């Protein structure tokens, strides 16, 4: 489906893009986009209880090439394996992002080598830049003076938050070597200590609060 400028303008002016809602991105390429099935509902519940959001507790699933993404100001994406955006999907996602949308990509381990190539399709003239510890996303509600918390070990590297800006607005956040989504899952899934799960949920709440208020 070809997305015209006028149709996008209509969607953003008269659709639900200003609503406090999030959706899970179902992408192609074979990666498990459906990983961590309890993570988003748990994060939404935490946000509704602690930062006064009113998000539906069962987020919808959307695909990158569909105009449905314009109904959601916040898209979340995770997984372990391959990711692929077609040219049409990449164009639709880019239009969504530069028109007011936001994409959070959380590497569930093994996504990094694939997602970086797809991000280039979205922003061929930009590069991922690490957010400093002083970035507002780390202290807009809960305080993380050391930046992104470490939730799971993975390769033992330090956790990093990378971003892409468009016209001074953060439109894409890529969290790497942290695995926030695993920390959002039900306690019995990974047996994370309560304090680790709490850090993951608090950081997720910060991300959502930052996006909805900027």
Question: Which CATH number characterizes residue 138's domain?
Answer: 3.40.50.12140
**Domain of residue 171, residue span:** 5-213
Ranking 2-11, 13-22, 41-50, 106-115 by mean pLDDT, the lowest is 2-11
Task: State yes or no: pLDDT of 180 exceeds 90.
Answer: yes
CB 46 within 8 A of CB 102: no
Q: How far is CA 94 from CA 60, 86, 123, in A?
A: 20, 12, 7
pLDDT band at 191 (very low <50, low <70, confident <90, very high): confident
pLDDT band at 15 (very low <50, low <70, confident <90, very high): very low
Per the DSSP assignment, residues forming a β-bridge with 60 are 23
CB 106 within 8 A of CB 100: no
Give the tens place of pLDDT for each residue, 38-97.
999 999 999 999 999 999 989 999 999 999 999 999 999 999 889 999 999 999 999 999
In what helix (H) or strand (E) does residue 159 lie, and over which residues does it extend?
none
CB 178 within 8 A of CB 23: no
Give the tens place of pLDDT for each residue, 23-38.
999 999 999 999 999 9
Q: How many folded domains does the chain comprise?
A: 1
pLDDT at 121: 97
Task: State yes or no: pLDDT of 154 exceeds 60.
Answer: yes
pLDDT at 14: 35
In what helix (H) or strand (E) does residue 45 lie, and over which residues does it extend?
helix 39-50
CB contact set of 149 (below 8 Å; sequence gap of 6+)? 159, 178, 199, 200, 203
> What does pTM read for this prediction?
0.91
């Amino acid at each position: 489906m070809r997305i015209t400028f006028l149709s996008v303008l209509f969607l953003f002016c008269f659709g639900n893009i200003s609503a406090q809602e999030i959706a899970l991105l179902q992408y192609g390429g074979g990666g498990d986009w459906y990983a961590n099935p309890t993570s988003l509902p748990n994060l939404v519940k935490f946000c509704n209880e602690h930062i006064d959001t009113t998000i539906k507790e069962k987020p919808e699933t959307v695909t990158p090439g569909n105009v449905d993404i314009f109904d959601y100001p916040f898209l979340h994406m995770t997984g372990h394996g391959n990711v692929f955006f077609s040219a049409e999907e990449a164009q639709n996602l880019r239009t969504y992002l530069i028109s007011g949308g936001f994409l959070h990509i959380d590497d569930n381990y093994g996504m990094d080598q694939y997602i970086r190539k797809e991000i280039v399709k979205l922003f061929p003239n930009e590069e991922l830049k690490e957010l400093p510890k002083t970035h507002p996303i780390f202290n807009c509600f809960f305080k993380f003076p050391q930046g992104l918390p470490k939730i799971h070990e993975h390769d033992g590297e330090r956790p990093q938050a990378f971003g892409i800006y468009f016209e001074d607005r953060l439109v894409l956040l890529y969290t790497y070597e942290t695995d926030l989504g695993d920390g959002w899952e039900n306690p019995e899934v990974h047996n994370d200590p309560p304090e680790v799960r709490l850090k993951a949920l608090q950081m997720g709440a910060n991300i959502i609060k930052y996006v909805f208020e900027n």
